[in-house]
Amino acid sequence: MAAAEATDARRAAVLGSPITHSLSPALHRAAYEALGLTGWTYDRFEVDEEALPAFVDALGAQWAGLSLTMPLKRAVIPLLDEISETAASVEAVNTLVLTEDGRRVGDNTDIPGMVAALRERGVEQVESAAILGAGATASSALAALSRICAGEIVAYVRSEARAAEMRQWGARLDVDVRIADWADAADALRFPLVVATTPAGATDALAPSVPERPATLFDVLYDPWPTELAARWSMFGGAVVSGLDLLVHQAVLQVEQMTGRAPAPVEAMRTAGEHALSARRQSP
């Protein structure tokens, strides 16, 4: 699925709505600089579902690809010539690569990005895992866990509607997922791997329940950071994987696909992301 070989002037961008918060430009531009791709540019564009088809149709030969965030990950699928098995498994595309012959190929780098972020912290396989939440990110988490979890996966959810969604994703991914009530979410913290996919503040009340010897927490948030749960987890000596780790590793795969260059410079991209977040927090 590699893009054409790097040329002097190529374009890429991230699309979504809202998009001003995106760290993708910082990550991709840092990669281009480290790889010596001086003619490559990476921008951000505010694009909603209605405007997406026209934007994609207008892409010229200089375009290498697009990163896609909400609400475009599903909306882009009908516009593609090909979609990877990974993206099809969760009906979500976050990467569009334009091939030399102009074909539009969609992939999902969030799932292997999660696996890579965990592997970086020494988590290759676990016997069981828990997911906190059941939104869009939870389906990607379930798909990632299907690759590394040998046993039970338990999803803690707030409503029967969310429970039904997780059961459907489990069936689609051929994963045996057990549903538990959010009222019992503190029980999740004793699993070998906990993946928190909830919005900011949703897990704060769980922080006092962190066990004395926690294992690994993957909290998909990165701003604000650390979350109360992640801070207490670290204080007790547990391993913590952050949303920035996920963002970096999914972007690494995007850079490799769009530029045809591998490996992408992980540390340069991470440093750029950290600096961008620091600048954001310091700005009034």
Edge to edge, what strands does the sheet with 177-181 contain? 177-181, 153-157, 129-132, 193-196, 216-219, 239-241
The radius of gyration of the chain's CA atoms, rounded to the nearest angstrom, is: 19
β-bridge pairing 10-16 and 63-68: parallel
Locate the DSSP E strands across the chain: 10-16, 40-46, 63-68, 82-83, 95-98, 104-107, 129-132, 153-157, 177-181, 193-196, 216-219, 239-241
β-bridge pairing 82-83 and 63-68: unpaired
**From 44, 73, 104, 232, the catalytic residue:** 73
CA 184 from centroid of its chain's CA atoms:
26
Neighbours of 165 (CB within 10 A): 19
Is 73 labeled as catalytic in the residue annotation? yes
Look-up of token digits 């010539």 = 81
Go through the chain and tell me how many residues it has: 284
**Mind telling me the catalytic residues?**
73
